[in-house]
Amino acid sequence: DRNVILHGNNNEKEHIRSYYGCSDPLSYPLFFPRAELGWHRKIPKRDTEAEDIGADDISNDDDPGLFQQFAVDTYIKIENSRLDYMWHHQNKIRADLYQGLLDSIQAGEQNGDAIGKRRVLASSFIGGPRDKIRRYLDAMALVRKYGKPDVFVTMTCNPNWEEITRELQFGQTPQDRPDIVVRVFKAKLEEMKKQLFEKAILGKVKAYTYVVEFQKRGLAHAHFLLIMTGKYKYTCPEQYDRIISAELPNKHKYPELYKMVIKHMMHGPCGALNKFCPCTKNRPSCKNNYPRPFNETTIQGKDSYPLYRRRNDGRTETV
């Protein structure tokens, strides 16, 4: 896309120069100093108030792609700055302890072209090898001290949350505003942690670990592993049924919960009913093993995965 910026030189008259790309995202405010998402015909002109623009000049031509590009370019700029610092400050992170050349010689490497100079990323670099190993060892230390996890909880981001949709401008979709989506998810994630660890809605938690991941569409989701105290450990199917249900809720007793389950928790149709469903595509059956068989009671299955109670009570729902 062709963008336009103002360019001045000493006493020369300010003139407009066509600009086809911008490697420095910090110059983006020159394009849109009022933080618009992109050019549109409603942007106030020089010496013209917004109220003076006629209806024919107003168009919803905002370019959400520019904001996406700004966010990505800014993130890359920050990460490149951190990588550049580590490249030139290897002595401060004690990279000399990693004797790449000596290790290669001891391993019997004779070809000098195969030996490079190792650059070590500090453990503070998120996503680096040392950062991942550190987090893994921390999680394993919890298991070694407190025992294996008892509960696995997943929290997903819903782009139709009211807190997201009410902040969108006309014509925008949630994927146009990742800044709003991640901030709302972060706030709800903190509330989720408060419910789990302070209010103990599933019981008293002794230790926990969690990770936040992003799906291909940019939506965040979090996975929690909870290690409960001895009094609140779940050891039998009857206790599983107290916190997990794989059945339709009572429509009259829990109407709101019933609507949420029907809208968000129903799988399919897939398998023989819909061979083009993503979970069945190029497969003989659903990869998630739906439809699941009915069970009158919860059964402790293989590999610590229980088979939840799904009673054949005759209740059906069309989705």
In the numeric block, which tokens belong to residue 211? Answer: 């990770």
CA distances from 128 to 39, 118, 134, 220, 273 (A): 38, 14, 10, 20, 44
* Percent of the chain surpassing pLDDT 90: 29
- 67's CB contacts (< 8 A; 6+ apart) are 37, 38, 176, 177
Largest interatomic CA distance in the chain: 86
| Alpha-carbon span 208 to 224, nearest angstrom | 7
| Angle, CA of 62, 67 and 71, to the nearest 5° | 175
* Percent of the chain surpassing pLDDT 70: 71
What is the pLDDT, as a whole number, of residue 31? 55
| Alpha-carbon span 51 to 41, nearest angstrom | 13
Instruction: Please state which of the ranges 72-86, 105-119, 185-199, 235-249 shows the lowest mean pLDDT.
Output: 105-119
- Mean pLDDT for the chain overall: 78
The structure tokens 């290790």 sit at 103
Using DSSP's 3-state secondary structure scheme, residue 249 falls into: coil
CB 269 within 8 A of CB 284: no
- pLDDT tens track for 199-239: 999 999 999 999 999 877 678 999 999 999 988 998 888 88
What is the pLDDT, as a whole number, of residue 54? 43
190: pLDDT strictly greater than 70: yes
CB 317 within 8 A of CB 266: yes
CB 248 within 8 A of CB 260: no
The neighbouring-strand residues paired with 7 are 15
For the CA atoms of the chain, what is the radius of gyration? 28
What is the pLDDT, as a whole number, of residue 22? 46
Amino acid in the structure at residue 317: E
CB neighbour burial string for 202-236, b if at least 16 within 10 angstroms, e if fewer: bbebbbbbbeeeeeeeebbebebbbbbeeebebee
- pLDDT tens track for 229-283: 988 998 888 888 888 999 999 889 999 999 989 988 888 788 888 888 888 888 8
Which secondary structure element, helix H or strand E, spans residue 16, and what is its range?
A: strand 15-19
What is the pLDDT, as a whole number, of residue 166? 93
HEC profile for 53-65?
Answer: CCHHHCCCCCCHH
CB 90 within 8 A of CB 120: yes
- DSSP class of residue 102 equals H
What is the pLDDT, as a whole number, of residue 20? 37
CB 224 within 8 A of CB 208: yes
What is the pLDDT, as a whole number, of residue 300? 81
